[in-house]
Chains A and B, each alone.
Chain A
Amino acid sequence: MSARVTRATALRVLTQLRRDPRTIVLLLGVPPFLLTLLKGAYHQDPETFQHIGGPLVGLFPFTTMFVVTSITMLRERTTGTLERLMSMPLAKLDLLFGYGIAFAAVAVVQAGVTSAVAFGPLGLDVVGSTAAVVALAVGNALLGMSLGLFVSAFARTEFQAVQFMPAFVFPQLLLCGLFVARDEMIGALQIVSDTMPLTYAYEALESVTATGSLGSRGTLDVSVIAGATVLLLAAGAATLRRRTA
């Protein structure tokens, strides 16, 4: 591994993103827009908005970075730049960490903008600190990135990669406890949701926004987010092949 190559890769990914202002607008504009819609939709039931709005701020980067990473990685594969990099003196970790640094930076900005809008004009109130929500958001962004990196290896086309979003992200969102409390679900679904990393991400966010601390399961939650990220990165690294058929 080399700090020079990792840094160069992070800069390169950020430069590519900067070349695409529409994507930047969407990255930064869509989450506040959706939260605004949500506030409007729940205007009869502001308590529910208060309850799910806070965690959502921290979950947006997960979905965004999943999509952005899987498409970017697929492009590296289909345009041959990945093969070129693999034939150069570049360690796989340089590439993965470079991506990680770039997307973590984007996640900080995205979560910062989203929480500024949510906790400002939208009047969302959380017990915990905004910084803790942003920190968890960045962790979730890295989790989404590693998942996107890993599954991109199984997509041959951008159509497939886009479909991975409903396939891999929606079930986690539906079962993480955001829409329905997990103890109200049937037993089988509870077990399924136990195996999904986003469940722990939601639990941590829910705890921070509602009580101000990570709570009794905080260590477990943070370890699962971090552990799943590392595991998925390792699995993603295994899909980066120097030799192909």
Chain B
Amino acid sequence: MLGPAMGSDAAIAVDGLRVRRGGNPVLHGLSFAVRRGRVTGLMGPSGCGKTTLMRAVVGVQIVESGRVEVLGAPAGTAALRPRVGYVTQAPSVYGDLSVRENLRYFARVLGAPRERIEATIATVALGEQADQVVNSLSGGQQARVSLATALLGEPDLLILDEPTVGLDPVLRRDLWGTFRSLAQAGTTLLVSSHVMEEAEHCDELLLMREGELLAAEGPDALRRRTGRERLDEAFLALIEAGEGDE
């Protein structure tokens, strides 16, 4: 089940990934593949290694061992930089610039055409706040500026770390809608969340706990295998089954 299904349709192929941070092992030899054009949810509690795994896929994480291949090239390769969009959990934009100024700068860095600025502002629904300084926006709005930045260059792969945390439910639904339409247009999305309800919106799930991968399958397959209708209960059943094995 967890074996690397590394076909040509894999946007991300990870094999035996081990990472240590501050001397402690964070990822204990993960192997999985993420298919192209799908929304894959990376689910698991806070501190289980989701962010570290995403950083390894983006290629900004120093890894101990293992192979991480992204869009057919080793993660972090220069050629991948325009093709991979990464949104960190904390909004990484300039707080003292307006929304539009931030996007204008990053668009120039990415070499994205001007029209993309207004298009992404519309996608994240920040039209009214476009000329406001980012520091004066709410946390959720700042998170959307950060997301807009990643959408500018129309990347083939989007890595989104907890993009919906603290958002209004309507907005959260809209964002999942946006992710869906991006996937339909061919973008691959890897989206992390610690809220199992959000797993519902994903085509495939990677369930993580304490640096290990518990499952890599779709929501329905997970339901069938555990016999639980609710995904949070299914996750719990997997954890309990794992503990029983030990």
CB-CB under 8 A from B94, the residues of chain A are: 12, 16, 79, 81
| CB atoms of A80 and B108 under 8 A apart | no
| CB atoms of B101 and A15 under 8 A apart | yes
| CB atoms of A87 and B62 under 8 A apart | no
| CB atoms of B96 and A20 under 8 A apart | yes
- Sorting the interface of chain B by its residue count into under 10, 10 to 19, 20 to 34 or 35 or more gives 20 to 34
| CB atoms of A85 and B109 under 8 A apart | yes
- Residues of A137-159 at the interface with B, using a CB-CB cut-off of 8 Å, are none
Q: Which A residue sits closest to B87, measured CB to CB?
A: A84
CB-CB under 8 A from A9, the residues of chain B are: 105, 109
- Nearest CB of B to A90, in Å: 5
CB-CB under 8 A from B59, the residues of chain A are: 87, 242-243
| CB atoms of B110 and A89 under 8 A apart | yes
CB-CB under 8 A from A89, the residues of chain B are: 78, 81-82, 109-111
Main secondary structure of the interface of B (DSSP, over half): loop
- Nearest CB of B to A16, in Å: 5
| Contact of A81 with B62 at beta-carbon distance under 8 Å, contacts A19-B133, A89-B111 already known | no
| CB atoms of A243 and B84 under 8 A apart | no
| CB atoms of A79 and B90 under 8 A apart | yes
CB-CB under 8 A from B92, the residues of chain A are: 79-81, 83-84
A192 part of interface (Cβ distance < 8 Å): no
| CB atoms of A244 and B96 under 8 A apart | no
Determine the distance from Cα of A83 to Cα of B55 in the docked complex, in whole angstroms.
Answer: 10
- CB-CB contacts of B71-103 with A at 8 A, as 1s and 0s? 000001010011010101011111111000100
- CB-CB contacts of A215-245 with B at 8 A, as 1s and 0s? 0000000000000000000000000001111
Determine the distance from Cα of A19 to Cα of B131 in the docked complex, in whole angstroms.
Answer: 13
Q: Which B residue sits closest to A82, measured CB to CB?
A: B92
- Nearest CB of A to B103, in Å: 11
| Contact of A243 with B76 at beta-carbon distance under 8 Å, contacts A84-B149, A85-B109, A87-B58 already known | yes
A4 part of interface (Cβ distance < 8 Å): yes
| Contact of A5 with B108 at beta-carbon distance under 8 Å, contacts A83-B60, A88-B81, A244-B62 already known | yes
| CB atoms of A19 and B96 under 8 A apart | yes
A101 part of interface (Cβ distance < 8 Å): no
| CB atoms of B95 and A79 under 8 A apart | yes
B230 part of interface (Cβ distance < 8 Å): no
CB-CB under 8 A from B97, the residues of chain A are: 12, 15-16, 19
| CB atoms of A84 and B88 under 8 A apart | yes
Which of B22, B91, B109, B149 meets A90, CB within 8 Å? B109
A86 part of interface (Cβ distance < 8 Å): yes
Could you show 12 A-B contacts with beta carbons less than 8 Å apart?
A8-B105, A19-B96, A81-B93, A81-B94, A83-B88, A84-B92, A84-B149, A87-B84, A88-B153, A89-B82, A243-B60, A245-B61
Contacts A4-B108, A80-B91, A244-B60 supplied; 11 other A-B pairs, CB < 8 Å: A4-B111, A9-B105, A12-B97, A19-B97, A80-B92, A84-B106, A84-B149, A88-B82, A242-B59, A243-B61, A245-B21
